[in-house]
Amino acid sequence: MVGHVVVIGAGVYGAAVAAGLASRGARVTVVEAGAPASGTSGATFSWTNSCGKQPRSYHDLGVAGMVAHQRLAARAPHSDWYHEGGNLEWAADADGVARLRRKVATVAEYGYAVRWLTRAEVLALEPDIDPAAVPADEIAYFPREGWVEPTRLVGHLLATALSRGARLLRDDAVVDLDMGPTAALRLTSGKRVTADAVVNCAGPHATRIAALAGLDLPMRNTLGVLIYTSPVPVSVARVVHAPNVHLRPDGGGRLLLHTHQVDAAARITGGRTRVDQDAVEVVLAAGRDLYPGLRDATVESVRVGERPIPADGLPVLGRVADMPNFHFAVSHSGTTLSVHAGDLVAAEVLGENQDDVLGPFRYERFLPALSAF
Cβ 303 vs Cβ 263: under 8 Å: no
Tens-of-pLDDT digits for all 373 residues of the chain?
678 999 999 999 999 999 999 999 999 999 999 999 999 998 999 999 999 999 999 999 999 999 999 999 999 988 889 999 999 999 999 999 999 999 999 999 999 999 999 999 999 999 999 999 999 999 999 999 999 999 999 999 999 999 999 999 999 999 999 999 999 999 999 999 999 999 999 999 999 999 999 999 999 999 999 999 999 999 999 999 999 999 999 989 999 999 999 999 998 888 788 999 999 999 999 999 999 999 999 999 999 999 999 999 999 999 999 999 999 999 999 999 999 999 999 999 999 999 999 999 999 999 975 444 4
| Residue 371 pLDDT | 46
Domains for the chain: give ranges and CATH numbers: 4-48+150-218+311-372 (3.50.50.60), 87-143 (no CATH), 222-307 (3.30.9.10)
Residue 58 to residue 55: CA distance in whole angstroms: 5
| Residue 124 pLDDT | 98
What does DSSP say about strands 27-31 and 4-8: parallel, antiparallel, or unpaired?
parallel
Q: How many CB atoms lie within 10 A of CB 74?
A: 9
What does DSSP say about strands 4-8 and 197-200: parallel, antiparallel, or unpaired?
parallel
What does DSSP say about strands 146-148 and 139-142: parallel, antiparallel, or unpaired?
unpaired
CB-count exposure of residue 305 (10 Å: 0-12, 13-18, 19+): buried
Give the helix, strand, coil percentages of the chain, each rounded to 5. 40, 25, 35
Residue 21 to residue 48: CA distance in whole angstroms: 23
Measured at the alpha carbon of residue 87, what is the angle toward residues 135 and 225, in degrees to the nearest 5?
95
| Residue 2 pLDDT | 73
Residue 289 to residue 177: CA distance in whole angstroms: 52
